[in-house]
């Protein structure tokens, strides 16, 4: 009995070893869980490469190889569909090929730091219903911020900063139900901030509109919003009273309103409790610095080049900043500026 079972154990071991050997000797792909790149996606990628004049940047896009191994690309491990296309910092000239709209599983589309990329944002991208991140930034793209972007219902992140975009901001963008952050900064946008930006279909996103030529007052509807961290309206030609952007119970951490034509009394403003960065430089803000500023944990403060008056409250972080945070006001005084008379 004992003898027999030992023989059986030995033969079982041999069987296991042989099958393991057989398994190991199978060709490698049978092992890998990753499916190959979808052939339709591959065809589209080769169209994109051709439309961009077969740039050196995409030299690894070799039709003989699995496109999931190509540079600037990412496939979904489960189905081999292309889910990210990130073309960054290459010598690429031409326009965004409309063929990008034919990658139906795309979740991330990035064209960034490509100074020779020009033309307009193609409407073909509205076909990308799964798109979550659209970044077209640091390029020479021109034309409008297209209203049709509001059709990209899965978008969480929209970055069109550092381009040559012109025209006004389409009100329809506030219909994007999943948006968390919108960057339209560093373009040549004109007109005013749409009233609809005070009524978002989903959560309120962080908003970056700096370095444009936006005019007019900021819609009061923005006063009821709770920006998760940031509102940046700096370097525009916006006017009027924006004290409604403040308020003790707001969640915002960064407020940059610098280099506009804002005009309001700062004395009455109550600051969001968690505000860490406040830049108000180069406006027409009057009144005095409220005592409430001393209760904040400020990392950055700049109220220079306004029409403020009175003594800088003592305490909190206010004396940690140097004179350049406060200079060029009507009659601000006290440390770090010279003593009040
Ligand atoms: C960029 O590519 C163009 C042709 O596509 C070529 O003429 C030019 O020399 C390249 N520039 C650099 C800096 O490589
Ligand atoms: C792209 O824009 C940069 C800066 O905005 C400019 O210097 C450059 O000449 C532009 N290139 C083309 C091809 O238009
Ligand atoms: C401020 O921060 C604290 C700690 O993170 C948090 O619990 C609180 O909800 C925040 N308050 C507001 C108004 O955002
Ligand atoms: C505040 O803004 C003024 C005007 O732009 C600038 O000169 C100064 O250096 C800034 N101060 C700080 C601390 O950034």
Q: pLDDT band at 16, cuts 50/70/90?
A: very low
pLDDT (0 to 100) of residue 32: 53
Name the average pLDDT for the chain.
92
Spacing, Cα 324 to ligand 4 middle (Å):
5
Rounded to the nearest 10°, the torsion over CA 165, 171, 173, 177 is: 170
Residue 118 pLDDT more than 80? yes
Q: pLDDT band at 36, cuts 50/70/90?
A: confident
Encoding tokens for residue 31? Answer: 């092992």
**Contacts made by residues 32-39, CB under 8 angstroms, sequence distance 24+:** 33/77, 34/68, 34/75, 34/77, 34/80, 35/77, 35/78, 35/79, 35/80, 36/66, 36/68, 36/80, 37/66, 37/67, 37/68, 37/75, 37/80, 37/82, 38/75, 38/79, 38/80, 38/81, 38/82
Average of pLDDT values for 162-167?
98
Quick one: which of 292, 287, 327 has its CA closest to 313?
A: 292
**Residues whose CB is less than 8 angstroms from the CB of residue 3 and which lie 6 or more positions away in sequence, other chains included:** none
pLDDT digits (tens, 9 = 90+) for 232-287: 999 999 999 999 999 999 999 999 999 999 999 999 999 999 999 999 999 999 99
End-to-end CA distance of the chain: 109
**Is the minimum distance from the CB of 116 to ligand 1 under 6 angstroms?**
no
Q: pLDDT band at 100, cuts 50/70/90?
A: very high
Spacing, Cα 56 to ligand 1 middle (Å):
9
* 48 and 5 Cβ atoms separated by less than 8 Å: no
Between residues 9 and 161, which one has the greater pLDDT?
A: 161
Rounded distance, CA 168 to CA 312, Å? 39
Rounded distance, CA 154 to CA 107, Å? 9
In whole angstroms, how far apart are CA 295 and each of 211, 254, 265, 281? Answer: 31, 16, 19, 21
Ligand positioned closest to the Cα atom of 324: 4
Residue 103 pLDDT more than 90? yes
Spacing, Cα 114 to ligand 2 middle (Å):
10
Spacing, Cα 164 to ligand 2 middle (Å):
9
Atom 5, ligand 2: which residue's CA is nearest? 140
**Predicted structure pTM score:** 0.88
Residue 26 pLDDT more than 50? no
Residue 101 pLDDT more than 60? yes
Encoding tokens for residue 172? Answer: 């329809």
Spacing, Cα 274 to ligand 3 middle (Å):
6
Residue 33 pLDDT more than 90? no
The backbone torsions φ and ψ at residue 287, rounded to the nearest 5 degrees and listed phi first, read 90, -160
Atom 11, ligand 1: which residue's CA is nearest? 91
**Residues whose CB is less than 8 angstroms from the CB of residue 148 and which lie 6 or more positions away in sequence, other chains included:** 123, 126
Residue 28 pLDDT more than 90? no
Which phi-psi region, left, alpha or beta, contains residue 246 (left: φ > 0; alpha: ψ -120 to 50)? beta
Query: How much of the chain, in percent, has pLDDT values that exceed 70?
Result: 90
**Is the minimum distance from the CB of 89 to ligand 1 under 6 angstroms?**
no
Residue 90 pLDDT more than 90? no
Q: pLDDT band at 327, cuts 50/70/90?
A: very high
**Is the minimum distance from the CB of 91 to ligand 2 under 6 angstroms?**
no
Rounded distance, CA 214 to CA 39, Å? 46
**Is the minimum distance from the CB of 91 to ligand 1 under 6 angstroms?**
yes
pLDDT (0 to 100) of residue 35: 74
Mutate which of 247, 252, 273 for ligand 3? The one with the most ligand atoms within 8 Å of its CB, which is: 273
Atom 3, ligand 2: which residue's CA is nearest? 115
Q: pLDDT band at 77, cuts 50/70/90?
A: confident
Cis peptide bond prior to 336, omega within 30° of 0: yes
Spacing, Cα 301 to ligand 3 middle (Å):
20
Ligand positioned closest to the Cα atom of 326: 4
* 165 and 143 Cβ atoms separated by less than 8 Å: yes
Element (H, E) at 134: strand 133-139
For tokens 């004396």, what's the residue?
319
Rounded distance, CA 194 to CA 185, Å? 15
Q: pLDDT band at 339, cuts 50/70/90?
A: very high
**Is the minimum distance from the CB of 115 to ligand 2 under 6 angstroms?**
yes
Domains observed in the chain:
241-341 (3.80.10.10)
Encoding tokens for residue 291? Answer: 């005592």
Ligand positioned closest to the Cα atom of 248: 3
Between residues 103 and 9, which one has the greater pLDDT?
A: 103
Atom 5, ligand 3: which residue's CA is nearest? 274
Q: pLDDT band at 21, cuts 50/70/90?
A: very low
Residue 105 pLDDT more than 80? yes
Rounded distance, CA 27 to CA 128, Å? 36
Mutate which of 250, 255, 274, 275 for ligand 3? The one with the most ligand atoms within 8 Å of its CB, which is: 274
Q: pLDDT band at 34, cuts 50/70/90?
A: low
Element (H, E) at 20: helix 2-24
Largest pairwise CA distance in the chain: 109
Half-sphere CA count of 226, side-chain side, radius 13 A? 10
Between residues 5 and 213, which one has the greater pLDDT?
A: 213
Q: pLDDT band at 146, cuts 50/70/90?
A: very high
């Amino acid at each position: 009995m004992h003898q027999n079972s030992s023989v059986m154990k030995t033969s079982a071991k041999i069987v296991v070893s042989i099958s393991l050997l057989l398994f190991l000797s199978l060709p490698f792909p049978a092992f890998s869980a990753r499916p190959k790149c979808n052939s339709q996606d591959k065809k589209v990628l080769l169209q994109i490469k051709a439309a961009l004049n077969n740039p050196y940047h995409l030299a690894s896009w070799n039709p003989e190889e699995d496109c999931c191994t190509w540079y600037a690309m990412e496939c979904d491990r489960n189905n081999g569909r292309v889910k990210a296309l990130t073309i960054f910092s290459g010598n690429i000239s031409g326009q965004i090929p409309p063929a990008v709209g034919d990658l139906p599983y795309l979740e991330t589309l990035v064209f960034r730091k490509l100074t020779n990329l020009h033309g307009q944002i193609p409407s073909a991208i509205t076909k990308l219903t799964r798109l979550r991140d659209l970044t077209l930034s640091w390029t020479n793209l021109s034309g409008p911020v297209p209203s049709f972007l509001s059709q990209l219902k899965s978008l969480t992140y929209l970055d069109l900063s550092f381009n040559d975009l012109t025209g006004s901001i389409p009100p329809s963008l506030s219909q994007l139900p999943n948006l968390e952050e919108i960057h339209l900064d560093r373009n040549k946008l004109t007109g005013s901030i749409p009233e609809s930006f005070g009524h978002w279909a989903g959560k309120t996103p962080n908003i970056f509109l700096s370095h444009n030529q936006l005019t007019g007052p900021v819609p009061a509807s923005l006063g009821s919003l709770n920006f998760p961290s940031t509102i940046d309206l700096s370097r525009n030609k916006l006017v009027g009273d924006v004290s409604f952007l403040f308020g003790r119970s707001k969640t915002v951490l960064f407020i940059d309103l610098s280099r506009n034509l804002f005009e309001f009394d700062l004395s009455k403003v109550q600051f969001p409790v968690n505000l860490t960065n406040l830049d108000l430089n180069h406006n027409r803000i009057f009144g005095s610095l409220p005592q409430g500023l001393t209760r904040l944990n400020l990392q950055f403060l700049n109220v220079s080049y306004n029409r403020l008056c009175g003594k800088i409250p003592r305490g909190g972080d206010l004396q940690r900043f140097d004179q350049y945070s406060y200079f060029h006001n009507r009659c601000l005084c006290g440390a770090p500026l010279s003593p009040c008379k």
